[in-house]
Structure 1
Amino acid sequence: MHSSRWLDRADLVAHLDAPAQVAGLVGLRGTGKTTLLRQWAAQEPLAAWWGDDAMALPNAGVVILRDAGALSDEDVATVDGWLASPADRRLRFAAHDLESIPPRWRTSAAPTSLTEEQTATLLQRYDSLADARLVHLLCRGVLAAVILVCRQGAATAADIIDALGRGEAVSGPIAELASLENVPRTMLDDLGLLDEAQEMVRAGLAQWNLGRGAMRWSPIARWSTLQRQRRDAAREHELHRRAATEFLRGDQPYEALVQAAHAGGLDLVDAALKRGGMPLVTGHGYEIRFLLGNVPIWRLRKYPVLCLALGIIFNARREFRLRAIELLGVAVVAARLAPRRSVDRALLRGVESVGLRITQSGDGGFRAAVAAVDLLDALPARSREEIAPLESDVRLHLGISLTYGGNLDGARAQFEQARMLGSRPMIELMGLGGLALVEALRGDVPSTEAWIQAAHVRQWPSEKLDEYQGSMLRIAEAMRAVERQDFKQAQERIDALWPIIETVEHWSLLAQAQALVDIGTARARPGLIAFRAVRERRGTSVGPHSADLLDVTEQWLLLATGDVSNAQRFRLRSRSGPELRLEAARGAVLRGDRQRAWTILGAVRTDAPRLRLTRLLLTAAAHLAAGQRDAAEESAAQAAGVAEAFELRTPLWFTPQNVLELAPLVPLGVTSVLPRRPEGEPLTPRELVILHELVTTANIEQIADRLHVSANTVRTQRQSLYRKLKATSRDEAIGRAIAMGLLDD
């Protein structure tokens, strides 16, 4: 097998070249370890093979063992004694199984199975049309198996399995276990097959797996054995269910899920998912989709956790979005209809919340999340132990649902609970990311920074940071960078996530962060086009809070482009959140509708720094427009205090420049993105008078009476005013005038 001709395995050659006294290669038969050793030995003049003919060990140099796992205890002691000499001596070896070599040698052994990337490279060099991930899944990284697939031109799963069945088969009683890729050791013991299993391991046809808790077949030996025997479907079904049960008892949920899927046992699959939690979904999504993706919907209706898991997996790929929505919808219905004990109610309401949130149905899962939190908190300790493997995952997702429902305090509590309950690194990453995101949304930049720093105490792989698990942290980092005017760093964080904006549920927050960068870098107009394109692609079916967020973002972009009139109007509903209400108040201020502005501002109650700052700035603008400069200065002073304490700047961007020029706000050095002065001709004194009159009334006759001129004169001057302000209506003219500072005092 001339693997080096087709595949660069420099990492393994470097392992053998290293100055370490002991180094070895471990892998099933056909992984290329002996070939690599032989090629390496050809470059070592002092290398000597030992063990085949009992020759004496050399005084110095390198000893190579073809099969270190076959050495007797006496031979191992001889080699160890030889290594203990002060002379310059090194050992290089190959072995079929890590468990078969002395423990002191195991840390120096490198696996020879191919990575998925190496499998893809080999397929490309053979011009194979097969999917690399599928080939890697079925061949388990065995080089000889991948080459068999390539040479047979196999592309489908059935063809790949047929190609793998052309190797050496295993005979004897153990052959009936070939239907199980992993055989629990307890089953081997019960069936009296442990000795046969050990012989297979010595021959390189299998390996001990899961800490010697199971025997994993070589893919070639497994499929060759299956194709050469009469298969009994009922017996295979029995073996798969038994193996699944044994793996569940041994706390091996993924292996249990695989065996249960082969047996068609959705009850055991559901149990494995509950035992394994989200790591099964995020770590083995492809395999689960391969095993269970074609199960009919009618069979899934009794298993809401399984429906949810499949929905999340399918939702990660845009081309499977419709299937994901179907599965998540079934998960919601199944959760509502399933028989419920007290412990189940909490879990199923959590499932319902996640399903509604991801499908953006109803209220986005907010009420279900609130109910699930109450149920979880009320569970007695014994009941909570039943869902212990899942509780940290459930708390995390409840935190996300509460975030999108606008309950940031509740979300913070769930993220903290998840961190406290979870022991897995990804729970830590998502919990810290959620806490950072909550503080960023509240507008507390120092607290956001603290949680970001806490998250980066650990070194996270970039493939986790830049995927779903790290998305909340990345968005929080972008929002922090925007507030600090570090647009380069903010763009880097956004760019890291942008490839998944078509599938990630946090797309609305990601789009808002990008909009703020576009506004801060004077790219509002192309930013508005890009934002609308993303919003159109992701569809209009979004939860209420996300819809508010998107509307607010579009308003900011419109204001920054100078399109004040189109940015002014919102239709408020009873469920509209404070963010949208404040933007409606902004529109009222810009139109000069002070009564509506005061009505809205008076009804908004919030302790979130970002919203408090926005409310104070709009209050100052309303006072200033009414000629109440002292009151405006007082509100501006409070606003400056909030901005400084929480290191906020973006809310000031959308404030009229005349407000930012009030003494308390001047030291912040922020310039409004709203248009400051009209382009073209300045307004005449008479046009300014007409402008002020239009703030009070739209009635031409009333204005004419007050100014003692004819109605036609007022109409002519109003027309000239509209032309200079580039407005087509009274509201648009007043909005532009306020934004430009033409109605100061």
Structure 2
Amino acid sequence: MTSRASFPTAPQPPSGSIVRPRLLAALDGPERLCIVRAAGGTGKTTLLTQWAEHAHEAVVVWIDGDPAPTSRASFWLRALTQVHARGLVDDATLYREVAAIADAPGDVESAMRRTLDDVAAPVTLIVDGVHPGAHGDAWDEVAHDLLRLLRDVPSFRCIVATSQPTALEHAEPSLGRRVLTEADLALTDDEVRAVAETASPWLSTGARDLIAGNDASRHVGSLRYSLDAVARSGERESDDVLAHAHRELIDRLGDSKLRDFVGATALSPVLDADLARELTGRDDASELLTRLESAGAGHWIESHTGARLFRYGTHVRAQAGGDFAARKPHALRDLHARIAQWLFHELKDDMAALEHALEARDLEFAGHVALRALPLNRDEGSRVVELLRRIPAVQIHRHPLLALWYGLVLNADPATHSRAPEFFASAGVMARLQSRSLSPWERAVHRGLESVVWRMLGQPRRMIDAARRCIDLLEEMEAAPSPEDRLADIASTLLYQSGVSAFYADEPDTARRAFSALVEFSDRHDFRHRRNAALSGLAFLDAMAGRVTSARRTLERIVDADWPHTWRDGYMGALARIARAWVLLSEPDPQGALDELTVLDPHFDTIEHWELILIARVLAESMLGRRREAAYRFERVRAARTKRSTLPSSLDRLATAEALLDLVTGHIADVRRRGNNRRSSPLLRAVEGMAESALAGSAGATPLIARAERDARDPVDELFAAISATTLALRTGGLRDTHRTAARIAGIVSEHGLRWPLVLVSPSDRERILAALEGAAEFGTAEVLRDAFAAFPAQIDDSVWGAEAAPVLSRRETVVLHALAETGSRAEIAERLFVSVNTVKAQLRSLYAKLGVSSREEALARAIALDLLSPEDDSDGEEAVS
């Protein structure tokens, strides 16, 4: 799984803080939603940390709202990581739900609902710092998610700290809601004295009373400013102590060194004392941060690994960082670069590191981080692209991952679609050039990405070369775990993509290697969701090859609960859906196949497997008796989706499907014309052979069928070749050949469960096949086919095979035939066609020879019988020769 940040658990209460029982009791009430709404410096965070420290009846999950999330998805990814860090869910659940959110950020609410349902104990989510209006509508969306979760998950409770009203305050009354305002958090006289006594035990009673009696001291933040000023003023009992405190505050803001310290360190979303020293050169960084905590500018927190980190308040960070950027813009890139390195190596926060690397224009390091940040969810990807837009394109071209991301975004927008290929191309080239300096794991990932790029560009040779190398590298390292866990998830993703590339390169054995390796890889890393994807790939390969029984068994190994919610019905689950559809076609259950494919309709306009879905769909519709509708759908979609980058294997599958539709719709002559103009697979050759046996007999069919039988690689090729050979044997009266090829059909049906191609056997041919088998005492074989024929009604009419073969006329012969129907005068025909009478005589001789006649009357009768006098088709035939 992609490693996310080591997000902190609940902060420790600040030193010197006092317990406020009345407020803790309010948070302990029965209300399932508690909102603490007050300005900064009123002690909201301290109150929440104290409550979390003493909460016993619920598991507390703490989410720090600083920095504000860039998107709804990024907030809930924090929540998932925290739930996992608390040991509330296992690795597999985390991987599954993170993958679901990455694939569809809109599914975050469902992912959290499933996660909370998996937790045995009641959960209280504390969100320290909700900022409505920040980063668009992200917080408002999070608020609505929280309300829905409170409504749907009875064991879930939420406590939120905010400085402004939010949508949470519109919760329905049945949930129960309590709001603590600034007035509730104001310090009482006794609490002011308690804070003063704890923080400044040497302070006189008179000074404490003076501070307690002033309204400015009712907030924890302003009280601490006062105490800090008194500590340095020496006027411990002066009547103007508060005025002096305010003067001290103004003076401190004017301290350029302190100002620079806060500005530089506030650039980082979180930091430790070492990073603060590195950024500022101040050896007293730790002490300064502690003073800033006492002043209310931020607070120390503890990560789940035990590291002590400091986080500024949102407003302090925004103002201080903005002030520093305006005063010292020349220093920003170096600071962002250092912060990026620390976030990546120490905090393991890949996304934050990536953003800071891009801010620093350190694209080499950004590419290094990006390799480990994959896969991004859509919202994270949008943020990266927003930063990339500020960088000159020529610089992006040098970094393959950044170029790939940018190309994907450009490709998704019709307005910029034409610019995408240049970024894809540079991504592929640079990935190869840079791979020599990378570790084996990184080289494997680069090769996998390169394969995806070349697939998108329609470059099959480069695509399969990169895929093979990716698979080889990952198999070589199979026994050695990755030195970086952050590479494991992207490596498994690209192992899957290499399998897809191998399939589209028409190398099913290589694809099987990839998917099989992914099963082992997933088991080793407990990536159960990836294991489902790998099994889907294996089932898909079997289904496409006609190994229906094997595909069915593999599909049964998929654990539905291990699917990320969005994967099952989206791109990652598409291969399983397609495999199941082909299995159902051989049940036969064409309606069930359509139901499986319909689930993918929302993705059909963008999914790369569109032709696989289309072909299975039109065959199912044809089996349901909607042949014309299927042919129309096929032609319309194929015309709209086929483009120059469509891979050759896809074009061949489309040509085969088109030929099958021509057969079942009675356009048998079109099979020969279309098929001979394409690079044909064994399956397409077999279909062409069936057409030739009907149109021209054995002379044209025999070499096609022989080639189909010789080149067959898998059961579906073998079955089509056997059906075609049987059709030819029945036409030529070869009883022995009929018996032999029919037995082969029955063997494939029995061994592999592949039955749907039997719809191409006409009713009379079925009777003759069964008779031939029974005549040879092959009663068991005959029974297998009798049952299969009964389950699969023929889609081809007997008239197709009984029709007389029509001669193929040239364009000039067709013109002469139409002229002959209107006049018997050769001179008149010559005048009409602007040729000599001798030319007309020669063309009539050729025409009569093709029709097998010797007179005008016979020619016209023959032409009418063969339907050759229909309106001319200007798209076919030869040019006229005079």
TM-score norm. by structure 1 comes to: 0.70
Amino acid across the alignment from 1:108: V
- Among 64, 70, 91, the alignment partner of 2:46 is 70
Contact kept, 8 Å, 2:452 with 2:501, in 1: the verdict is yes
**Matches of 1:53 and 1:707 in 2, distance apart?**
107
The corresponding residue for 1:553 is 657
The corresponding residue for 1:739 is none
- In structure 2, relative to structure 1, the CA distance for the partners of 1:629 and 1:231 (3 Å cut) is farther
Superposition RMSD in Å: 5.2
- Among 626, 631, 634, the alignment partner of 1:531 is 634
The corresponding residue for 1:478 is 581
Worse-superposed segment, 201-210 or 318-327: 201-210
Instruction: State whether structure 2 residue 491 is matched by structure 1 residue 391.
Output: yes
- In structure 2, relative to structure 1, the CA distance for the partners of 1:234 and 1:121 (3 Å cut) is closer
- Among 259, 262, 274, the alignment partner of 1:174 is 262
How many angstroms does 1:357 deviate by? 0.7
Contact kept, 8 Å, 1:201 with 1:207, in 2: the verdict is no
The corresponding residue for 1:667 is 787
Instruction: State whether structure 2 residue 724 is matched by structure 1 residue 580.
Output: no
- Among 590, 614, 621, the alignment partner of 2:727 is 621
Q: What are the residue-to-residue correspondences of 1:406-485 with 2, within 5 Å? A: 406-422=506-522, 423=525, 424-485=527-588
The corresponding residue for 2:321 is 226
- In structure 2, relative to structure 1, the CA distance for the partners of 1:402 and 1:660 (3 Å cut) is farther
DSSP-derived class of the 2:673 partner: coil
Aligned length, in residue pairs: 628
The corresponding residue for 2:602 is 499
Q: 1:578-608 deviations in whole A, cap 9, x for unaligned?
A: 3333333333334235334332332343342
- In structure 2, relative to structure 1, the CA distance for the partners of 1:615 and 1:231 (3 Å cut) is farther
DSSP-derived class of the 1:417 partner: helix
- In structure 2, relative to structure 1, the CA distance for the partners of 1:217 and 1:73 (3 Å cut) is closer
- Among 520, 535, 538, the alignment partner of 2:623 is 520
- In structure 2, relative to structure 1, the CA distance for the partners of 1:306 and 1:185 (3 Å cut) is farther
The corresponding residue for 2:428 is 332
**Matches of 2:388 and 2:415 in 1, distance apart?**
17
How many angstroms does 1:216 deviate by? 6.3
**Matches of 2:135 and 2:336 in 1, distance apart?**
31
DSSP-derived class of the 1:455 partner: coil
How many angstroms does 1:380 deviate by? 10
DSSP-derived class of the 1:109 partner: strand
Contact kept, 8 Å, 1:308 with 1:328, in 2: the verdict is yes
The corresponding residue for 1:405 is 505
Worse-superposed segment, 330-339 or 67-76: 67-76
Worse-superposed segment, 571-580 or 443-452: 571-580
**Matches of 2:846 and 2:416 in 1, distance apart?**
63
Instruction: State whether structure 2 residue 668 is matched by structure 1 residue 564.
Output: yes
How many angstroms does 1:411 deviate by? 0.3
How many angstroms does 1:378 deviate by? 5.8
- Among 273, 276, 281, the alignment partner of 2:370 is 273
How many angstroms does 1:476 deviate by? 1.9
How many angstroms does 1:359 deviate by? 1.8
**Matches of 2:408 and 2:761 in 1, distance apart?**
41
How many angstroms does 1:403 deviate by? 0.5
Contact kept, 8 Å, 1:616 with 1:639, in 2: the verdict is yes
Q: What are the residue-to-residue correspondences of 1:581-596 with 2, within 5 Å? A: 581-596=685-700
Provide structure 1 residue ranges, at least 5 long, that are not aligned to the other structure.
Answer: 1-25, 29-49, 84-89, 127-140, 149-167, 733-745
Contact kept, 8 Å, 2:729 with 2:738, in 1: the verdict is yes
Amino acid across the alignment from 2:358: A
**Matches of 2:142 and 2:49 in 1, distance apart?**
44
- In structure 2, relative to structure 1, the CA distance for the partners of 1:177 and 1:400 (3 Å cut) is same
How many angstroms does 1:439 deviate by? 1.4
Contact kept, 8 Å, 1:354 with 1:365, in 2: the verdict is yes
Instruction: State whether structure 2 residue 275 is matched by structure 1 residue 187.
Output: yes
Contact kept, 8 Å, 1:304 with 1:330, in 2: the verdict is yes
**Matches of 1:201 and 1:614 in 2, distance apart?**
81
**Matches of 1:95 and 1:338 in 2, distance apart?**
39
- In structure 2, relative to structure 1, the CA distance for the partners of 1:270 and 1:703 (3 Å cut) is closer
Point out the structure with max Rg over C-alpha.
Answer: 2
- Among 688, 706, 723, the alignment partner of 1:602 is 706
How many angstroms does 1:390 deviate by? 4.5
The corresponding residue for 1:196 is 289
The corresponding residue for 1:304 is 400
The corresponding residue for 1:37 is none
Q: What are the residue-to-residue correspondences of 1:358-397 with 2, within 5 Å? A: 358-361=456-459, 363=461, 365-374=463-472, 390-397=490-497
**Matches of 1:586 and 1:207 in 2, distance apart?**
79
Amino acid across the alignment from 1:264: R
**Matches of 1:551 and 1:713 in 2, distance apart?**
40
How many angstroms does 1:70 deviate by? 3.0
The corresponding residue for 1:162 is none
Contact kept, 8 Å, 2:445 with 2:470, in 1: the verdict is yes
Amino acid across the alignment from 2:404: L
Q: 1:661-698 deviations in whole A, cap 9, x for unaligned?
A: 321333212222223448xxxx9xxxx8x937979xx9
How many angstroms does 1:618 deviate by? 0.9
- In structure 2, relative to structure 1, the CA distance for the partners of 1:76 and 1:536 (3 Å cut) is closer
How many angstroms does 1:323 deviate by? 3.9
**Matches of 1:650 and 1:364 in 2, distance apart?**
35
Amino acid across the alignment from 1:467: G
DSSP-derived class of the 1:110 partner: strand
Worse-superposed segment, 241-250 or 210-219: 210-219
Amino acid across the alignment from 2:372: R
Contact kept, 8 Å, 1:332 with 1:355, in 2: the verdict is yes
- In structure 2, relative to structure 1, the CA distance for the partners of 1:701 and 1:249 (3 Å cut) is same
Contact kept, 8 Å, 1:700 with 1:714, in 2: the verdict is no
Q: What are the residue-to-residue correspondences of 1:34-49 with 2, within 5 Å? A: none
- In structure 2, relative to structure 1, the CA distance for the partners of 1:298 and 1:114 (3 Å cut) is same
Contact kept, 8 Å, 1:478 with 1:490, in 2: the verdict is yes
Instruction: State whether structure 2 residue 386 is matched by structure 1 residue 290.
Output: yes
Contact kept, 8 Å, 1:182 with 1:255, in 2: the verdict is no
Amino acid across the alignment from 2:387: L
Q: 1:488-509 deviations in whole A, cap 9, x for unaligned?
A: 4323332222222222221221
- Among 620, 632, 640, the alignment partner of 2:746 is 640
Contact kept, 8 Å, 2:10 with 2:302, in 1: the verdict is no
DSSP-derived class of the 2:866 partner: helix
Amino acid across the alignment from 2:368: A
Q: 1:230-258 deviations in whole A, cap 9, x for unaligned?
A: 44233322222122222332443333222
Q: 1:67-124 deviations in whole A, cap 9, x for unaligned?
A: 79636999989876xx8xxxxxx9999996899xxx8999622255699999479589
**Matches of 2:461 and 2:637 in 1, distance apart?**
22
Contact kept, 8 Å, 1:257 with 1:273, in 2: the verdict is yes
How many angstroms does 1:414 deviate by? 0.5
How many angstroms does 1:642 deviate by? 1.2
Amino acid across the alignment from 2:665: T
Amino acid across the alignment from 2:497: H
Q: What are the residue-to-residue correspondences of 1:93-132 with 2, within 5 Å? A: 108-112=123-127, 119=137
- In structure 2, relative to structure 1, the CA distance for the partners of 1:125 and 1:385 (3 Å cut) is closer
The corresponding residue for 1:38 is none
DSSP-derived class of the 1:365 partner: helix
**Matches of 1:701 and 1:407 in 2, distance apart?**
51
Amino acid across the alignment from 2:797: P
Q: 1:451-495 deviations in whole A, cap 9, x for unaligned?
A: 222223434243222322222222222222333233343233322
Amino acid across the alignment from 1:355: V
**Matches of 1:421 and 1:623 in 2, distance apart?**
50
The corresponding residue for 2:6 is none
- In structure 2, relative to structure 1, the CA distance for the partners of 1:104 and 1:612 (3 Å cut) is closer
DSSP-derived class of the 2:125 partner: strand
**Matches of 2:161 and 2:593 in 1, distance apart?**
43
